[in-house]
Amino acid sequence: MLWGEDPAEYPIESYDYILVSGLGTHFWSNLAAMRVVKKRKRRDAKAIMGGPHATFAPYEALKYVDFVIFNEGEVPALQLIETLESGGDLSTVHNLGYVDDEGLLVTTDLHRYGNLDVAIQPALLRNAPTLPWAPVSMSRGCPFNCSFCYAVRLLGRQFRPKDVAAIRAEVDALHAANGVTRFLVTDLNFGTSRDFCQEVARAFRGAPYKFIGLTRVSIADDDELVEDLRAAGFEDYYFGVESEDPDVLRAFNKNVEAGEQRTRLLKMAEHDIFIHGGLIFGTDAQDRGAVERTAQWCAEARMIHPNFYCITDYPFQGVLHGARQDVEDHRIIMEHINYQHFSFVGIFPRNMRPSELQRILAKCSDDFFVRAFEIEKRPKRLVRLKAVARLKAAEKQEVERHTAFLEKLEAPYYTAAGELKEELLKADFDGKYGHIADWLERSRNRRGAGRAALAMAPA
C-alpha cells in the first residue's frame, strides 16, 4: 500500500498473506483498518505483523493478527511463509510470536542478522505520486547502550553497514521512479564508522541529493569528515542530545560529556550544518525550570529544530524482553496514540500533572524560537528557522487536544499540590492490565513449544 490509501478498497478476501508493519502511533491511529483486515480476510489466510509495535506490544498486535515477528523481520517473514506453505515446524522460524493452543504466547529463538543489503524495490512504487522525501537505510545497529532506546533493542548493538554501491543504486532508483531528492537516513547511528561514512561521502559527492542523518554529536569533532559529508549532501543531522544536564545524561546511561555538547553544536553551526535535536523530559529530577532552561540552551547552542520529548516506553519490557525501563509499568499511559509519540506526554510524572508537563513542552518550543531569532543572523539559517516555526505552529491544535485528554485522565490521580497518588494509580493499573503481565509471565518459557492455535491474545 502507498501512504494514504484505504485498505478497505483492496481485495482483502483474495490474499493468502497480509503483512503489516508499524510503530505504536501507526497501530493506534489505524485500528479501524486493522479491524477491516481481521473481519474480511479469509479464515485460512494469515495476517503477520512486524515492526516496533509487534516487538514490544505483541499482546496488542495479536488481537488483530495471527503471528507477530520480533526485531528484524525480513528473514523470519520469508521463513514463516515457507513453513506455512510446506506444513513445517514453526519452532524453526526465527523471531516468531503466536498464541498456542493453551492460550499462551509462544516465542521462538531470537536471532540477529549480518549485513542485510535489503533495498526498496522501486518497481513497487511505480504508481506512487512524486515524493518530496523518502527514507533510506544505510546501516543497522548502534554500539551504545542508552537506556531509553527501544530501537537498539529492535536492531541490536552491532553496527552493520550495507554495501555502499547498493545504497547508491537504491537511492538512484528511487529518484528515477519518483523524483525524490531528499532522504532521511534511518540508521540508528549513521556516524559509527568513519571509514563507512567516508565511503558514503565519496559515493554521493556531486549527486543531486540531500540527506538528514541520525548520529551522535561527537561527529562534530571530525571537521574533515563533516565537510566531506556536507559536499555529498549531508547538510542536516538529528542528534540525540537528550539533555544539557550531566545528572540526566547519567540517568539515561548516555555516554557523553554534558559540557562538550554545546561546543560541538556550535561547531556544526559554523559549518552551516542544520541540527535537529531530541531533548527528553519527565524524570523526577526535572522541574519546570529545568525544562525552560533547556529551551534557552538549545537556542544558544544554535540548534535549528529541537524536539522536546516526554520519556516513555512500552510497559512490560522487563518480563517480555528482560529489558531495563526508565518508567515503571503503572506510570505509562497505555492504549493511546502517545505510545512512542515522544512529543505527546505518555506518563504520569510524580511531581507534576501530565497536562502540566505537556504545556511546559509546548511553551519550550515557543521560548526556543523567541531566543533563536534573537541570536541567529545568517539569512539561510533564519529561513530554516522560520520554516520550522511554521511547522510547530501547525502542530499546536493536536497538542491542545492531547492536553485536554490528559486533563480528564489525570484528574483522580493527583493531589491539589500536583503530587501523584501512586498507590491508587498502581492499583487501578493492576486491576485493568495486571492480567497482561500475568499472561506474559506464564508465557515466559514457551519457546517454540506447542502448535499455533491462531487465537487472539487476551483483550
Nearest by Cα to 66 from 30, 87, 90? 90
Instruction: Decide if 24 is inside a domain.
Output: yes
Question: Do both 198 and 94 map to the same domain?
Answer: no
Going residue by residue through the chain, which has 459 residues, state the pLDDT in tens, using 9 for 90 and above: 777 788 899 999 999 999 999 888 889 888 999 999 999 999 999 999 999 999 999 999 999 999 999 999 999 999 999 999 999 999 999 999 999 999 999 999 999 888 777 777 777 777 777 878 899 999 999 998 888 888 888 899 999 999 999 999 999 998 988 889 999 999 999 999 999 999 999 999 999 999 999 999 999 999 999 999 999 999 999 998 888 888 888 888 887 777 889 999 999 998 889 999 988 888 888 888 888 889 999 999 999 999 998 887 889 999 998 888 889 999 999 877 766 677 899 999 999 999 999 999 999 899 999 999 999 999 999 999 999 999 999 989 999 999 999 999 999 999 999 999 999 999 999 999 999 999 999 998 776 543 443 333 333
Instruction: Decide if 444 is inside a domain.
Output: no
Q: Give me the helices (H) in 281-421, please.
A: 288-300, 317-321, 354-375, 379-410
E strand spans, 176-300: 182-185, 210-215, 234-242, 274-281
Give the CATH number of the domain where residue 139 resides: 3.80.30.20
Question: Do both 71 and 136 map to the same domain?
Answer: no
Instruction: Decide if 109 is inside a domain.
Output: no
So what's the pLDDT on residue 1? Answer: 76
The number of angstroms, rounded, from the C-alpha of 41 to the middle of its chain's C-alpha atoms is 29
Give the CATH number of the domain where residue 78 resides: 3.40.50.280
Cβ atoms within 10 A of the Cβ of 380, count?
10
Number of independent structural domains in the chain: 2
Question: Do both 223 and 299 map to the same domain?
Answer: yes
Residue 340 φ/ψ, nearest 5 degrees: 60, 15
Question: Range of 292's domain?
Answer: 131-411
Instruction: Decide if 168 is inside a domain.
Output: yes
Question: Do both 318 and 385 map to the same domain?
Answer: yes
Question: Do both 237 and 278 map to the same domain?
Answer: yes
Instruction: Decide if 32 is inside a domain.
Output: yes
Amino acid found at 416: A
Question: Do both 304 and 174 map to the same domain?
Answer: yes
Question: Do both 90 and 142 map to the same domain?
Answer: no
Instruction: Decide if 458 is inside a domain.
Output: no
Domain boundary among 411, 426, 445: 411
Question: Do both 55 and 184 map to the same domain?
Answer: no
Question: Do both 314 and 166 map to the same domain?
Answer: yes
Please tell me the pTM assigned to this model. Answer: 0.90
The secondary structure of 7-41 as a DSSP string is GGGS-GGG-SEEEEE--HHHHHHTHHHHHHHHHHS
Cβ atoms within 10 A of the Cβ of 421, count?
14
Question: Do both 208 and 332 map to the same domain?
Answer: yes
Instruction: Decide if 302 is inside a domain.
Output: yes
Question: Do both 207 and 92 map to the same domain?
Answer: no
Nearest by Cα to 290 from 302, 303, 276, 308? 308
Place of cell 521463513: 79
Question: Do both 144 and 91 map to the same domain?
Answer: no
